[in-house]
C-alpha cells in the first residue's frame, strides 16, 4: 500500500513511517521541515520525500499521485502559550486539513486516517455517588488558585469519581488546540459524506517515547519533564500531580495507525468513526514525573501548585473499540517505556518559537 504521511518527519509521523516500511508498505512523506520544528534536519528513512507545507495545494496534489490512503499527522500541537497562538493553530490544523481533503477529493483518494486527540472530550468521564454520570463544567480560576483542583458534581457539589471515557462521550473542547482537533474531525466527516470517502480518527491520548521534542512549550507533559531532567533540573509538576492521564508509547500509536490504514478501506463509503488510542492503564502526571526522574537518576519532581487555564483534570481512555475492530493491542508497558524514554535522545527545537509556527507533531 502506498501511503501519504503528512508530517512524516515529526515525532509520531516518523515512527509511523518506520512502521509502514517494516510492514512492506510504501510511505510518501510530506513535511515542511520548518526550522521551528526541526532545528537539525532529521534522518531520512528509505521513503519518498516531498518537502512542502500541507497548506500548499499544488504540492499536496503532486504528492497524492498513485497514493492509496493518507495518514494525516501534520499539526501544531499542545496547549500553546496563550490565545495569541489561535491563528497559528487554526491555520495549520484546520486550513491544512481542508487543503488536504480538497486535494484528496480531486485525486479520488478515498481512505483517510487522521491524527485525532483526546482533548476533544474536555474533562473525562465522571460519576457522582448521588447523581450518576455527570459532566462538570470548566474549572474556575478562583478554585484553581485556591488549590481546589478536583471538579465537583454540578448538581450537588460532591466529589466525583473519574473513569475511562468512551468515544460516545460528547465533545467539549476546552482550549484552542482542542477546538482545532475537533474541527479536523468535522472536516473529515464532511469530506467522507460528500465524496464517499472513508475516514477514521485515532484520538491519541498522551503519547510519549523516543524522539519527542525538547524545550518547547508546544510539547506534551512527558517532554517537559524529560527536558528538565536533561538540563539537570527537577521536573516541575503543576497542580498537585494527581491529574490522571493515559500515557501511550509512540510505537504503539504507530502500530495503531498501520492497523487503521489496513482496515479503513473496509469501512462503509461516506463513513467517519473515531477511536480512542491509549494504553488503557491510567497514571497520574506525578507518577510520570517520578518514574522519569528515577529512570534518569535526576532530581525528584517538585510539585508547584501552578496551573494552566484550559488544562483538564482527568482524561483517560477506554480503547476497547480500537482493539475489537482493528485488532490492535498496546505492547509497551509503562515502566519499560519510561525507562527507554529516559535514555533516548530528544529532538532539538530552538527557542523561542515565533508566532505562526506550524509544524508536525
- Which residues are tagged catalytic? 177
Distance CA 65, CA 82 (A): 39
Query: What is the 8-class DSSP label of residue 188?
Result: H
Environment class of 41 (CB within 10 Å of its CB; exposed 0-12, middle 13-18, buried 19+): exposed
How many residues are there in the chain? 361
User: Which is nearest to 267 in space by CA: 199, 219, 316?
Assistant: 199
Taking a C-beta distance cutoff of 8 angstroms, is the pair 203, 315 a contact? no
**CB contact set of 128 (below 8 Å; sequence gap of 6+):** 134, 153, 155, 156, 158, 160, 161
Q: Which residues pair with 277 in a beta bridge?
A: 204
Supply φ then ψ for residue 126, to 5 degrees: -135, 145
Amino acid at each position: 500500500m502506498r501511503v501519504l504521511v503528512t508530517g512524516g518527519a515529526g515525532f509520531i509521523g516518523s515512527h509511523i513511517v518506520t512502521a509502514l516500511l517494516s510492514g512492506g508498505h510504501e510511505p510518501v512523506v510530506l513535511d515542511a521541515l520548518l526550522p521551528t520544528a526541526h532545528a537539525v534536519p532529521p534522518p531520512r528513512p528509505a521513503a519518498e520525500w516531498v518537502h512542502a507545507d500541507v497548506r500548499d495545494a499544488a504540492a499536496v496534489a503532486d504528492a497524492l499521485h498513485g497514493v492509496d490512503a493518507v495518514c494525516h499527522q501534520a499539526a501544531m500541537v499542545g496547549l500553546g502559550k496563550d490565545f495569541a497562538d489561535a491563528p497559528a493553530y487554526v491555520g495549520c490544523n484546520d486550513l491544512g486539513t481542508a487543503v488536504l481533503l480538497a486535494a484528496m477529493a480531486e485525486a479520488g483518494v478515498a481512505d483517510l486516517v487522521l491524527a485525532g486527540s483526546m482533548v476533544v472530550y474536555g474533562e473525562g468521564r465522571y460519576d457522582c455517588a448521588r447523581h450518576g454520570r455527570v459532566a462538570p463544567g470548566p474549572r474556575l480560576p478562583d478554585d484553581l488558585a485556591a488549590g481546589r483542583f478536583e471538579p465537583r458534581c454540578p448538581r450537588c457539589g460532591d466529589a466525583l469519581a473519574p473513569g475511562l471515557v468512551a468515544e460516545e462521550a460528547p465533545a467539549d473542547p476546552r482550549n484552542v488546540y482542542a477546538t482545532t482537533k475537533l474541527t479536523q474531525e468535522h472536516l473529515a466527516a464532511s469530506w467522507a459524506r460528500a465524496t464517499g470517502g472513508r475516514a477514521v480518527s485515532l484520538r491519541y491520548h498522551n503519547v510519549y517515547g523516543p524522539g519527542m521534542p525538547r524545550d518547547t512549550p508546544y510539547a506534551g507533559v512527558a517532554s517537559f519533564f524529560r527536558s528538565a531532567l536533561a538540563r539537570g533540573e527537577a521536573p516541575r509538576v503543576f497542580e498537585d500531580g494527581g491529574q490522571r492521564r493515559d500515557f501511550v508509547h509512540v510505537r504503539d500509536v504507530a502500530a495503531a495507525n498501520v492497523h487503521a490504514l489496513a482496515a479503513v478501506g473496509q469501512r462503509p463509503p461516506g463513513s467517519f468513526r473515531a477511536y480512542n488510542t491509549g494504553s488503557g492503564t491510567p497514571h497520574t502526571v506525578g507518577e510520570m514525573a517520578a518514574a522519569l526522574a528515577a529512570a534518569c537518576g535526576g532530581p525528584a519532581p517538585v510539585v508547584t501548585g501552578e496551573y494552566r487555564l484550559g488544562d483538564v483534570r482527568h482524561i483517560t481512555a477506554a480503547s476497547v473499540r480500537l482493539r475489537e475492530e482493528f485488532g490492535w493491542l498496546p505492547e509497551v508497558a509503562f515502566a519499560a517505556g519510561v525507562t527507554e524514554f529516559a535514555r533516548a535522545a530528544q529532538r532539538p527545537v530552538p527557542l523561542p518559537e515565533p508566532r505562526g509556527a506550524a509544524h508536525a507533531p
